[in-house]
Structure 1
Amino acid sequence: MTIRLRAHHLLCLLTYVGKGYTPAFTANYDGIAERLSRGEDILLVSGPDDVCAPLLDEPEPHCLRDSAAERDQLAAQDVADLLARPIQAGVRLDLVAAILARMRQAFSAGLVRKACGGCEWNGLCSAVAADGYRDTQVRRPALPGKR
């Protein structure tokens, strides 16, 4: 299967440690983290994605706000620059260990953090990065022949 993600969630997954907006959100994200760790690929989408799904029944889900779309644009540009490839709706991405490590290194260095400005989780994400991503749930072992 394929995991549908909006661009700014490429950054969120780097520091996900099992905390979220609601118990349903966290349970859903735990499942996504497990699937990513098993090697499922990512299909980039515009707007709400698999991470947003539990929030869409709320009266005014934040994932439909302009601020989420702005975060997507900023994250897409940062990640595209980092990976030297397009990051836009319709693109597939295999989050192999080398790419995950490169993205985490860039996140720690502040190179892909434009989308994080004003995010309520920014402090937690910074602490997770400063701790070396120790308790993160998305893990990818290096696979022979993959970079």
Structure 2
Amino acid sequence: MTVKLRAHHLLCLLTYVGKGYSPAFTANYDKVVKRLGEGEAVVIVAGPDDVCAPLLGEPEPHCLRESAAERDRIAARDVGALLGRPIQAGDRLVLDAHKLAGMRKAFSAGLTRQACSGCEWSGLCDTVAASGFSDTYL
């Protein structure tokens, strides 16, 4: 089995500390992060993913907006540059401890944060990164 993630969620999961849009969203995110922590692979998807699932029943889910797709394009570019290979729909990744550490280091240094511009969670992510990612779930 694999966890379906859109590219910008590769960045979001680095700072996930159990906060989200709603209790259902957070409970679902907890399950996704648990699966990743147990070593389940990621498959990159275009559009809504396993994290987005609880929001898709809303009248106008932000997961379907062009702004989310643009975040994906930017995150794929930046994470791909970090990992030394393109990131696109269909790609599979295993987020082991070494890869996560490198991604967090780049995130803290601002190398992969362009996709975060304008995100309502950016302040929380700044705080989590500044704390050394100490309370993250993954």
- Does TM, scored on the shorter chain, surpass 0.5? yes
Counterpart in 2 of 1:30?
30
Aligned pairs for 1:1-147 within 5 A: 1-138=1-138
Matched letter for residue 23 of structure 2: P
CA RMSD in angstroms comes to 0.4
Measure the CA separation in 2 of the matches of 1:100 and 1:86. 17
Q: How many residues align?
A: 138
CA positional deviation for 1:85: 1.1
Measure the CA separation in 1 of the matches of 2:85 and 2:29. 26
Measure the CA separation in 1 of the matches of 2:18 and 2:90. 28
Gapped runs of 5+ residues in structure 1?
139-147
CA positional deviation for 1:132: 0.3
Measure the CA separation in 2 of the matches of 1:37 and 1:48. 21
**Amino-acid identity (%):** 71
Superposition TM-score, scaled by structure 2 size: 0.99
CA positional deviation for 1:57: 0.2
Measure the CA separation in 2 of the matches of 1:18 and 1:85. 30
Matched letter for residue 82 of structure 1: L
Gapped runs of 5+ residues in structure 2?
none
Aligned to 2:49, the other structure's residue is in SS state coil
CA positional deviation for 1:86: 1.7
In the TM superposition, structure 1's runs of 4+ consecutive aligned residues that sit over 2 Å from their partners are none
